[in-house]
Amino acid sequence: MIIAAIKLYQYDIPLKAPISISLGTIKNAQNLLIEIQTDAGLTGWGEGSPFWMIVGETQASGLAAAQDMARLLLGRNPLDIDGCVSTLSRYLPGHPTTRSAFDMALYDIAAKAANLPLYAFLGGAKRPLVTDETIYIDTPERMAENALRIYENGGVAIKIKLGTNAPDDLNRLYAIEQALSATFPERTYYHVPYRLDANQGWDYPTASEILSQTRFIEHQFQYCEQPVRRADIHHLAKLKAAGNVPIMADESLFDGADAIRLVREEAVDYFNIKLSKSGGIREALNINAIAEAAGVPCMIGCMSESRLALTANAHFASARQNVRFCDLDACFEHADDPVQGGIRYKNHYHIELPDAPGIGADIDPTFLRGLPKITVA
């Protein structure tokens, strides 16, 4: 079996409303969609979501790089995932999001060839997976309203985007807590933990101040994700040692080399693995193996992917017991859902994986025909 043709799609999905994090505001999901066709009739699908403020890629730069990557893969055996992805990495050492879309499509083909769902192809089994839901940066009042909605929908964890300044971010936290305590005086909301995410928005003094103040909020803070700049490993370690809130690496963790450094420096309590950030499943497996050996539990996270890539992420999480948390809610913000098959969300947050061979998801042909496309054959 060889790769006969590759189609590259400009995969735009409108959002219900703009969403803001400390690094910027996103108005639409501008993703990449890769379709790898083989001479044996098997097709693999992959998706990447290039957050320029995190990975340094845009949709335009990704599509340009993808044309060169596609030419490198033509005529190769798609089951040689290690050889194919290594070739892409050597040719363009950057572009992890673009590479992740190719990687995902190759794993889709390999699992289909083995007639196994991806979680089984990765050596795992189905297990219960539950995602949180994210509240993006807004006024304290609006963020409190969203927290109430998530709780009323049966949310199991509320992820709170922060990363501006200490007074404003503390006001957001207090507003959320006050709204929940006033609406649910029986305090059942205590069973829904908070997950903070500053997206590198704080300096060390600000992070230290905010995380120390959490002791005045009678609630479980499960972790704080990437409180300081990605290269500031020293202060990540100091915040971890302070012990106010467990610390999770996101933007500080792209690949296995980053994972080794974070472990060596004892810098964080948890890792956030994202396929679009790590370059795909192959490198994510390396990161998780390092984490598991070091006793560092992981979360599987997302950028702004559709249910296609979210399904691949969920397969990975199901296949690896060291993945303790799921943050797979990106599609909640999408105005359109062009994916056929794929994961389903039972009771809003409980993830149900498909059992079809491969990822078990593809794109509605009608939606696909409307996307700008480049064919490399």
Question: What torsion do the CA atoms of 46, 70, 281, 104 make, to the nearest 10 degrees?
Answer: 20
Nearest Cα residue to 267 out of 297, 306, 234, 237? 237
Find all residues with CB under 8 Å of 186, minimum gap 6, and list them. none
Amino acid at 46: G
Our answer to whether residue 161 is catalytic in this structure is yes
- Burial (Cβ within 10 Å: 0-12, 13-18, ≥19) of residue 79: middle
Residue 362 labelled as part of a binding site: no
Instruction: Supply the DSSP symbol for 158.
Output: E
Find all residues with CB under 8 Å of 374, minimum gap 6, and list them. 7, 8, 63, 66, 67
Catalytic residue among 7, 112, 159, 161: 161
Question: What torsion do the CA atoms of 198, 202, 204, 209 make, to the nearest 10 degrees?
Answer: -80
Residue 197 labelled as part of a binding site: yes
Question: The dihedral of CA 338, 339, 343, 346: what is its sign?
Answer: positive
Our answer to whether residue 16 is catalytic in this structure is no
Phi, psi of 293 (to 5 degrees): -65, -30
Residue 39 labelled as part of a binding site: no
Nearest Cα residue to 223 out of 157, 164, 171, 177? 157
Question: The dihedral of CA 364, 79, 97, 36: what is its sign?
Answer: negative
d(CA 275, CA 288): 12
d(CA 319, CA 288): 11
Instruction: Report the greatest alpha carbon distance in the chain.
Output: 64
Catalytic residue among 7, 159, 240, 274: 274
Phi, psi of 51 (to 5 degrees): -80, 105
Nearest Cα residue to 159 out of 167, 168, 150? 150
* 270 C-beta neighbours (distance < 10 Å), count: 22
- Binding positions are 197, 225, 250
Q: Which residues are catalytic?
A: 161, 274
- Binding positions for Mg(2+) are 197, 225, 250
